[in-house]
A and B are shown apart, each in its own frame.
Chain A
Amino acid sequence: MSFLEMNNVCIGYGPSNARTEVLENVNLSVEENEFVAIIGFSGSGKSTLISLLAGLEKPDSGFVRMKGRTIDQPGPDRGVMFQNYSLLPWLSVYQNIELAVKQVFPDMKKGERVEYIQHYIDMVSLTSAEWKKPHELSGGMRQRLSLARTLAMKPEVLLLDEPLSALDALTRSVLQDEIIRIWEEDRRTVVMITNDVDEATIMADRIIPLTPGPKATLAQDFKVELPRPRDRTTLNFNPDFKALRNRVTKFMISVNEEAKLLRTQRNLKCPDIQPISLARVG
């Protein structure tokens, strides 16, 4: 029995007459302390998958389990970092984190809490923006705040939905390292959504592609057996790394082509009608 698992999960949206099946027969099992990256094209259902793991959505069929128990509601043991950040706009940077910390660690003393929160603010380099409201932050800063809030909850499982997509390359690599460090330090389980193959390869133990939707499902996984710690400066010259990256990229391109082909075939079935000239009929 694995730590986190999905078994034949199907989910769709909309009423029965106009239904879009988003995920179909998804099977996933994540071991404890494992770092899994899920990559897929946009709109394929990655965020939906995260919602299922978090317990924010319920599967139409199949089940989602954590430590053998069915997930039926969200909770702070599964820290979600939402793709759209979901920051509370009336709270400042500090207060956004404080709300989560107060709820998750009710017994923490005030002085300790202040320090704790400050630590996470410093970690995502939001120092000196503590009292700004989210609408005063840039997209990247918001994303970092959202990450800090999720990390501050110290969840057993981190569910990160494209956590670094809005960041510039430099900040991105810093935070990648930071996530890895936290994951290694506290021995947590991470499921990270990304659309960046490099990022997935550098960070994850395992890369699982999600086929393009509708009716997306998880494809065969790729094990990343590069030794840790992975140094990104030397990694670029590592043949294993390059080979794996190419394999994943190729796979993604091919499934996308297939999906496109499927879609175009469906769409191109034109009715066999010839235009009639009205003038001649008249």
Chain B
Amino acid sequence: MKYKILKALDIAGLKVLDPVVRLAYREEPREQVRKIILFIAIPIITFCAFLVAWAYIAPRHTTKSGEVPTPSVVWDSAKNIWVFHQRENIKEEDFRVEGEEREKRIAEVTALLEKLKPELEKADEQLNKAQEQAKAQTQQAVAPLMAVFEKTKEQFKQAESDRKKELNELAKTIKDGDTAARAEYLKKVDAHIKQSDVETEQLQVIKSRIDVVMNPKHEGLIAARTAKNRVAEQVQFLSKRLENLGDNNQQQKVLAAKQALEEKKEKFSEASGRALYFGAMNIHRAEDRLGRIETSTYAKPWTFPAQIVRSLGCVFLGFVIATIIAVPIGILCGLSPVFMAAMTPLISLFKPVSPIVWLPIVFIIVGGFIDDPEQAPVHPAFLSSAITVALCSLWPTLVNTAFGVAAIDKDHLNVARVLRLGFWNRLFKIVIPSALPLIFAGLRISLGVGWMVLIAAELLSSSEGIGKFVWDMFNNGSSQTFAQMFVVVFVVGIVGLMLDRTMIVFQRLVSFDGAPTAI
């Protein structure tokens, strides 16, 4: 049992948990504890230290989009993303639901709304109160400062006009041709201007102090506002649900359209003369409308989880394309030095090209094949992103495959020679299996590169996905969206990690010498 678990962990690439299992079975407890500290405790501590440092540093930098979000803000916005996703799903269900289920839902939502109404009122009230309070507090804090400001301003104004007057008086005493006196005068005026500047600056300092007090973070106000927003959002959500369950519901719309059609038909059967023509036209239109409604779907906005899934689909498509191109070419390169020599310049030339360059080119080329993006089976932006991913990520696989095939053990080839294996047998029974570990090592790198490239490609091509999400959030520019970009960082990291782990598992399955495959 123990060894089965250990083996499963090993294959699943979860070797970190190995000491935990061993400890549970009381195998060399001291050694296992040491390992747990080393491989589990220390990484966790480091991560916590990172979070603490982040929480400390982040609020100390304010940007146009507000403060840099702290871990807890990011966590909240991750939760918000999830709530939004779930709500959209419920709304879509509401749009489709029919019959008794619909009635039941309407009753539920109405009850909830009723319950929320007083809550909303209360929240509103509290917000108002908080606002009043905040205003009063600000007033209180600002008033004395304002008095100081006014007083100082008055003083400075007085002083300035006094100096001016004095200088004017002095000017009268200066005679023609008295250069020394003139020079002296010039200096005095300079001093006057400098003094004025200094005073203006002092005033500015007081003003900024007032601004700080005027614009305080009233804890109570912020809390009240968030509370209200939360309730208001919920109310809005429920109202929208009611709409989708009611008039906006697909079934309801279909029923209405059918009824309209019936009416038109009735009218038509009774009409005569010119009205007959219009009646027929009306029936035609009503039928059209019914057809449209029947096939219509709920216009659901893209939610982040849906975008993640789409990004995964995109990277997978790109990865498959890359594999289909890279592995055969790599094998040919490995088998034939001539082919390798022929390909080397192309490989070296295209390998370093960035996705930012590939994407527009691919986009235009793909666009040339697809006339109407909305009608196409795959969206051209999606396809271009996938192809860009393929173009950027196929190189590690290609190079590794070529290397793996070229470095095949001579002894293994000798076996093939003695057995007189034909070309295909030699390829599939000797060459490819022996190169497989290296091919998979290449595929693993490729997938990592592809995942990195994908975000940039989506961002550029506006293909729905994580990249697009980041771009939208960036253009939104509020502190809420700023926090959501941080969520993206973690999501991209975690998904990338999981992709890598998956590839490690595959790598383990094809490696035959029992050698470990990196960490």
A residues apposed to B, CB below 8 Å: 54, 56, 73-76, 78-80, 82, 84, 86, 88-91, 99-100, 103-104, 133, 135-136, 153
Contacts and interface: CB of A to CB of B under 8 A. Distances in A.
Given A74-B417, A136-B514, 4 more contacts: A73-B420, A88-B434, A89-B513, A90-B434
Nearest to B418: A74
A88 B419 contact: no
A249 to B, nearest CB: 32
Contact of B411 (A76, A86, A90): A86
26 contacts: A56-B414, A74-B414, A74-B420, A75-B420, A80-B414, A82-B411, A82-B415, A84-B411, A86-B414, A86-B415, A88-B415, A88-B430, A89-B434, A89-B513, A90-B434, A90-B436, A90-B510, A90-B512, A91-B433, A99-B429, A100-B419, A103-B420, A103-B421, A133-B512, A136-B514, A153-B419
A54 B512 contact: no
A89 B513 CA distance: 7
Given A82-B411, A82-B414, A86-B411, A104 B419 contact: yes
A79 B417 CA distance: 11
Contact of B433 (A79, A88, A153): A88
A56 B412 contact: no
Nearest to B415: A86
Per DSSP, chain B at the interface is helix
Interface of B: 411-412, 414-415, 417-421, 425, 429-430, 433-434, 436, 510, 512-514
B425 A86 contact: no
Contact of B417 (A73, A88, A91, A153): A73
A86 B412 contact: yes
B430 A76 contact: no
Tell me the dominant secondary structure on chain A's binding face: loop
Nearest to A101: B419
B419 A99 contact: yes
Given A88-B415, A88-B430, A90-B434, A76 B512 contact: no
A105 to B, nearest CB: 12
B440 to A, nearest CB: 12
A103 B411 contact: no
B494 to A, nearest CB: 33
Contacts of A54: 418
Q: Which of B415, B418, B420 has the most CB of A within 10 A?
A: B418
Contact of A90 (B414, B425, B433): B433
A135 B419 contact: no
